[in-house]
């Protein structure tokens, strides 16, 4: 499998060999460095359509009912003003060809932010990473499904919930007609090659639809193709100057993707047709997800008083940073095959905001 990138100097299309992080252009001799996009190659069955290989298929990722069994974790302690609960999931896919370097850093930084800036009790934060010794806290498909169920379990008015995910994201063909663009968005557990992906339909059914009036949920999803990963009905389309309008993404088939009265907001790493970078370009010290870094930086620097100011700050941080650190543009075979692109697109990344209801982003205060 190869990736197609543009030379950082002459922009000629180059074929990047598997596993390579740099490539020299045979025409102008410039060296191009490649950032790590948080998406995966197309499933093997797409390759079969072009090279007739006999690779095994990925397991199906069809929509399934939300997890409804018992969970191995203790409930969050009661609080008269409402409980604060969070699920933080950081997946590095260590030892695989899909390995990412910044996701564990993202998870740890988000936990610190929630505890120290927003008063989340440590015992109310469920961490799912490959570093966890407890098997029930490793980010497998089963455990992520259980964690999402735990997050909204016994939810009531006054509760504030957070779901943070840092890892790979992908897309697959929409099978039930609820997607404007014809594709479902997915997140990839550490065992996705064996167990399959988690589809946005299930995420919506699990943590969006049950949310009661008076409760709020914030999702922060740092992954490729994550613009509408919660399947929320409204997307805030914001320009570089900060002007915005709400796009109506309610399914044409009439399916309800809203809540049971609660409020849901999702900050995602990029639009559905974009990739998210795993890069050192922002921290200058270690690998992080570009979106997670820009989110935390905006909060720490006082640029998060409203949703609009926060989103605008995140977009500006990424827009003014060379995520490829002087490198060329990159696209995955997945993007080429699924979206039918014939023109290569670069690693363009624009954080997005979706919500269960439209609102004035510059007057509504942001708080977790």
> Which residues are part of the catalytic machinery?
168, 224
How far is Cα 141 from Cα 62, in angstroms, rounded to an integer?
Answer: 13
For residue 133, what are its two tokens?
Answer: 């010794």
H/E segment holding residue 291? helix 290-300
* Residue 106 backbone dihedrals phi, psi, to 5 degrees: -60, -45
For residue 319, what are its two tokens?
Answer: 């827009």
Note the residue count of the chain. 368
Strand order from edge to edge, sheet including 234-238: 125-129, 84-90, 160-166, 216-222, 263-268, 352-355, 234-238, 244-248
How far is Cα 147 from Cα 165, in angstroms, rounded to an integer?
Answer: 12
Q: Identify which of 301, 58, 345 has the alpha carbon closest to the alpha carbon of residue 188.
A: 58
Cα first-last separation, the chain: 42
The torsion angle over the Cα atoms of residues 109, 112, 114 and 118, rounded to 10 degrees, is -130
How far is Cα 90 from Cα 85, in angstroms, rounded to an integer?
Answer: 17
For 244: left if phi > 0, alpha if psi spans -120 to 50, otherwise beta; the answer is beta
How far is Cα 264 from Cα 357, in angstroms, rounded to an integer?
Answer: 8
Angle in degrees, 0-180, between the axes of helices 290-300 and 307-319, rounded to the nearest 10: 130
How far is Cα 171 from Cα 270, in angstroms, rounded to an integer?
Answer: 13
How far is Cα 221 from Cα 166, in angstroms, rounded to an integer?
Answer: 6
């Amino acid at each position: 499998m190869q990736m197609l990138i543009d030379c950082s100097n002459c922009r000629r299309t180059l074929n990047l060999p598997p596993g390579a992080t740099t490539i020299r252009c045979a025409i102008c001799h410039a060296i191009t460095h490649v950032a790590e996009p948080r998406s995966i190659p197309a499933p093997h069955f797409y390759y079969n359509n072009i090279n007739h290989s006999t690779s095994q298929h990925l397991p199906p990722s069809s929509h399934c009912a939300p997890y409804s069994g018992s969970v191995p974790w203790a409930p969050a302690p009661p609080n008269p003003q409402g409980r604060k609960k969070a699920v933080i999931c950081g997946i590095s896919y260590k030892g695989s060809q899909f390995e990412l370097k910044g996701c564990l850093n993202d998870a740890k930084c988000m936990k610190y932010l929630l505890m120290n800036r927003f008063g989340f009790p440590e015992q109310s934060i469920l961490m799912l990473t490959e570093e966890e010794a407890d098997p029930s806290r490793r980010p497998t498909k089963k455990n992520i499904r259980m964690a999402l169920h735990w997050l909204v379990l016994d939810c009531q008015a006054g509760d504030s919930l957070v779901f943070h995910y840092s890892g790979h994201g992908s897309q697959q063909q929409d099978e039930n007609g609820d997607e404007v663009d014809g594709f479902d968005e997915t997140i990839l557990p550490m065992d996705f090659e064996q167990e399959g992906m988690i589809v946005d339909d299930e995420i919506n059914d699990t943590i969006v639809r049950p949310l009661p009036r008076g409760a709020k949920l914030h999702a922060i999803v740092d992954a490729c193709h994550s613009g509408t990963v919660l399947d929320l009905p409204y997307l805030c389309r914001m320009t570089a100057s900060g002007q915005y309008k709400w796009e109506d993404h309610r399914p044409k088939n009439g399916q309800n993707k809203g809540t049971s009265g609660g409020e849901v907001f999702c900050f995602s790493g990029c639009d559905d047709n974009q990739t998210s970078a795993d890069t050192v370009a922002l921290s200058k010290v270690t690998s992080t997800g570009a979106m997670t870094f820009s989110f935390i930086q905006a909060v720490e620097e006082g640029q998060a008083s409203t949703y609009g100011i926060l989103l605008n700050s995140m977009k500006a941080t990424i827009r003014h940073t060379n995520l490829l650190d002087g490198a060329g543009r990159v696209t995955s075979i997945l993007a080429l095959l699924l979206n039918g692109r014939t023109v290569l697109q670069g690693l363009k990344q624009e954080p997005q905001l979706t919500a269960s209801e439209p609102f004035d982003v510059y007057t509504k205060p942001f708080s977790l």
